[in-house]
Chain A
Amino acid sequence: NAGVTQTPKFRILKIGQSMTLQCAQDMNHNYMYWYRQDPGMGLKLIYYSVGAGITDKGEVPNGYNVSRSTTEDFPLRLELAAPSQTSVYFCASSPRNRGQKDTQYFGPGTRLTVL
């Protein structure tokens, strides 16, 4: 299993540009999440999904959109990039079965700089 994969690893955007951060998992997990981590800070939840076709906002959703058309993929869209969105973005997934509830498995992250 590849686990949780994210692309790209690094990206530099200009203000106002848009991009999609890709996330995929091959563990058949129902739950998927997007976080951002600013330097010296904890992870902040942007959006999450409890299954294909179902998404919901987290703590910091403004400026982002998501979709979940399949169990495997959970892309994050930035429509109008702003310097405040410079951060490291982590995608995570977790299983639904009670024995492993809440344990989240993270992708390697995407480092985004908006100039």
Chain B
Amino acid sequence: RKEVEQDPGPFNVPEGATVAFNCTYSNSASQSFFWYRQDCRKEPKLLMSVYSSGNEDGRFTAQLNRASQYISLLIRDSKLSDSATYLCVVNGAAGSARQLTFGSGTQLTVLP
């Protein structure tokens, strides 16, 4: 089983749609969780951290379910500029020196 698994997509949605991405992780000792965004041929950039209580940043909502080892990202009112690959990222077991494990990414295309 992969350490971090994501549905690769692609997700093709119209502008204004709501879209949700899911991610599962295998290491129950993982402590930090993130969503990164990667545009085509560019470097990954932090979109948001994911907290146990869930958190929201504008149109983006992230949820964490530790019992099921599951992370989600919800994007509301999709914009053309949201088109990118979304990477689910999980840190290693306690004591690891800031090592992150990256999922393969979910590709999103928002259509006009």
Contacts and interface: CB of A to CB of B under 8 A. Distances in A.
A58 interface: yes
Contact of B43 (A31, A42, A56, A108): A108
Contact of A48 (B42, B45, B97): B97
A42 B38 CA distance: 11
Given A31-B97, A102-B91, A43 B102 contact: yes
A103 B97 contact: no
Contacts of A90: 43-44
B99 A45 contact: yes
B94 to A, nearest CB: 12
Interface of A: 31, 33, 35, 40-45, 48, 50, 56, 58, 90, 94, 101-109
Given A102-B91, A108-B43, 10 more contacts: A35-B102, A44-B102, A45-B100, A50-B97, A50-B98, A90-B43, A90-B44, A103-B49, A106-B43, A107-B43
